Amino acid sequence: MAQQPQAESNEAVKVLIVDDHALFRRGLQMVLEGEPDIDVVGEASDGHEALTKAEETTPDVVLMDVRMPKRSGIEATRLIKDTLPSTRILMLTISDEEADLYDAIKAGASGYLLKEISIEEVANAVRSVHAGQSLISPSMASKLLTEFAAMVKRRDERNQVPGPRLTDRELEVLKLVAKGMNNRDIGSELFISENTVKNHVRNILEKLHLHSRMEAVVYAVREKLLDIK
């Protein structure tokens, strides 16, 4: 049996639920409040309210729908990440459109799951994202890989100016980030401190002009730094 992801500290993971369907919000709340290591700190019915509630509650993880009135989940994600960069956003949506997936990643989302997953699986998804992992529904991941393959082909068909050079250590860290490992586990793997890992990740994102770990995963696959079969 796979080991359940655990929160990085003894404190409960603070979760904000954002969805325009009240019954779905209530279902999520009931399930998550039954978990001893998760604390639902608020809910919102649209992207505009999500930003206000996020600023009030400073959640660790936001469960965010994509398509909502007043302000979309993707726009809200971008604004929340600007205001609360340490908050992780997990998109939970019925939208299987590639454009929504790409826009969510660009906005800083750490995961993109379709509502086809069982509601009981959401708690583990919250723990995984809080621990620094990146989650994408399998059906959406296959679409990403198809797009990556097309991107690589387009890149190979033209001569590009060489991109920023990463150090050997930064490449090691990037590969482990792309495997979904959190900073603590990367530090253990490479025998360096968690703080050193954080510094490497920050340098990697700055050098590559990226905004999130999820975008770093995209870069790693696009540049063939991972063996994906």
State how far the Cα of 134 lies from the Cα of 224, in Å rounded to an integer. 18
Of 228 and 123, more confident: 123
- Reference 43, options 62, 67, 70, 66; nearest CA is 62
Helices (H), 42-182: 47-57, 73-83, 98-107, 122-130, 138-156, 168-178
**What structural domains and CATH numbers belong to the chain?**
13-137 (3.40.50.2300), 161-222 (1.10.10.10)
The answer to whether residue 179 scores a pLDDT higher than 70 is yes
Distant-in-sequence, close-in-space partners of 99: CB < 8 Å, separation ≥ 6: none
Identify any residues that bridge with 112 across adjacent strands, giving them in sequence order.
91, 136
Categorize the per-residue pLDDT at 188 as very low, low, confident or very high, splitting at 50, 70 and 90: very high
Categorize the per-residue pLDDT at 17 as very low, low, confident or very high, splitting at 50, 70 and 90: very high
Categorize the per-residue pLDDT at 105 as very low, low, confident or very high, splitting at 50, 70 and 90: confident
Distant-in-sequence, close-in-space partners of 212: CB < 8 Å, separation ≥ 6: 81, 105, 108, 109, 110, 205
Task: Return the structure tokens found at 175.
Answer: 């590969």
- What rounded mean pLDDT belongs to the chain? 83
